[in-house]
């Protein structure tokens, strides 16, 4: 298995608002042949604020994650299409001082892990070309570096093997404990005992019913994905936010507002989701309040406004 590192980018300036659907994996090549232009250099490039974004970069030694899979990165060239909004982006490095074939093998190992983690089948592992027609990943498409796309796909399982990671009545251990913790964060009142018993099964079924999923009491890929999305939405700050505030709490609030059609600055980059509570964000909060809390239109993001926003998101 390839060595995996995380170097997460804190800024969301080069990403789209909303939650990535994570139904596809998109393979790119960096097209950067310079010496030293490996995974670390490209991770540093993203950390410094590049004009595009992707989730992973991989070379002949290491794979480095820049963004959580829930983030919608700018990478596919299809605007608000499935490439940007529903896929995880991997850039394979092509630096002249690297081993391209080993980088591809490492990329395949990373893809297998992501397929397992996210429940994505091999059929949904696609080229950048699939979304925009761009000749990318160029060398895998052409096969001029000793390995082609068909060979790459043969390195992958045909479908995501998630059977061992499904949780159901009778399951025990750390995965069940985390499930119970996550469900409690969403308002379910479970005893954290690491045992999937009747109470946990009832909570899972209630969660599935609330999102109109198949109500089976089994935590498989679809329910796992829905839990992740619900927890991201739940991250909207519980603090009172007002003009002058800044940071991740403000950014989460702005992203949540944008996800239901209230954009801090629709004409700007990333729709104004910048982590700063300025006058435009205040006016956006007021617009939201005028619709959902008409008796409280003060531009301050407090308990009542937060409650209504979370209620709308959960619909």
- Sheet with strand 62-65: strands edge to edge: 3-6, 62-65, 56-58, 87-92, 24-29, 125-127
Contacts of 37 (CB under 8 A, 6+ apart): 30, 93, 94, 95
Yes or no: domain 163-232 corresponds to CATH 3.40.30.20: no
**According to the model, what pLDDT value does residue 239 have?**
78
Q: Domain 248-314 adopts which CATH fold?
A: Muramoyl-pentapeptide Carboxypeptidase; domain 1 (1.10.101)
Closest CA to 94 of 150, 147, 53: 147
Q: How far apart are CA 273 and CA 258, in angstroms?
A: 8
**pLDDT digits 0-9 by tens, 49-94:** 887 899 999 999 999 999 999 899 999 999 999 999 999 999 999 9
Examine residue 50 and say whether the peptide bond preceding it is cis (omega within 30 degrees of 0).
no
Q: Domain 3-154 adopts which CATH fold?
A: Lysozyme-like (3.40.80)
Quickly list DSSP for 188-211: ------SB--HHHHHHHHHHHHHT
Confidence category of residue 303, pLDDT binned at 50, 70, 90: confident
Indicate whether this model's pTM tops 0.85.
Answer: no
**pLDDT digits 0-9 by tens, 223-237:** 988 898 777 666 555
Chain region(s) in the chain for CATH 1.10.101.10: 163-232
Chain region(s) in the chain for CATH 3.40.80.10: 3-154
**According to the model, what pLDDT value does residue 174 have?**
86
**According to the model, what pLDDT value does residue 233 have?**
65
Mean pLDDT for all residues in the chain: 89
Confidence category of residue 8, pLDDT binned at 50, 70, 90: very high
């Amino acid at each position: 298995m390839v060595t995996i590192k995380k170097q997460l980018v804190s800024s969301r300036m080069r990403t789209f608002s909303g939650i990535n659907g994570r139904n596809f994996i998109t393979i790119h090549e960096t097209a950067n042949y310079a010496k030293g232009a490996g995974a670390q250099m490209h991770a540093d490039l993203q950390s410094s604020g590049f004009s595009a974004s992707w989730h992973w970069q991989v070379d002949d030694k290491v794979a480095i994650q820049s963004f959580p899979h829930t983030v919608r990165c700018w990478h596919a060239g299809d605007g608000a299409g499935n490439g940007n909004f529903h896929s995880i982006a991997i850039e394979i490095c092509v630096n002249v001082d690297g081993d391209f074939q080993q980088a591809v093998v490492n990329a395949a190992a990373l893809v297998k892990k992501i397929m397992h983690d996210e429940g994505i089948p091999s059929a949904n592992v696609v080229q950048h070309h699939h979304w925009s027609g761009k000749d990318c990943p160029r060398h895998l498409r052409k096969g001029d570096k000793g390995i082609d796309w068909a060979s790459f796909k043969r390195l992958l399982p045909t479908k995501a093997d998630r059977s061992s990671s499904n949780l159901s009545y009778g399951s025990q251990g750390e995965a069940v404990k985390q499930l119970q913790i996550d469900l409690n964060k969403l308002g379910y009142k479970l005893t954290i005992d690491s045992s999937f018993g009747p109470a946990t099964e009832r909570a899972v079924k209630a969660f599935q019913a609330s999102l109109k999923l198949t109500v089976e009491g089994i935590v498989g890929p679809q329910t796992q994905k829905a839990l992740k999305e619900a927890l991201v939405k739940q991250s909207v700050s519980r603090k009172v936010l007002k003009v002058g505030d800044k940071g991740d709490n403000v950014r989460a609030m702005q992203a949540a507002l944008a996800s239901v059609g209230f954009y801090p600055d629709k004409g700007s980059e990333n729709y104004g989701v910048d982590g700063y509570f300025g006058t435009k964000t205040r006016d956006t909060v007021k617009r939201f309040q005028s619709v959902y809390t008409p008796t409280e239109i003060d531009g301050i993001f407090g308990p009542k406004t937060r409650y209504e926003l979370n209620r709308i998101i959960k619909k």
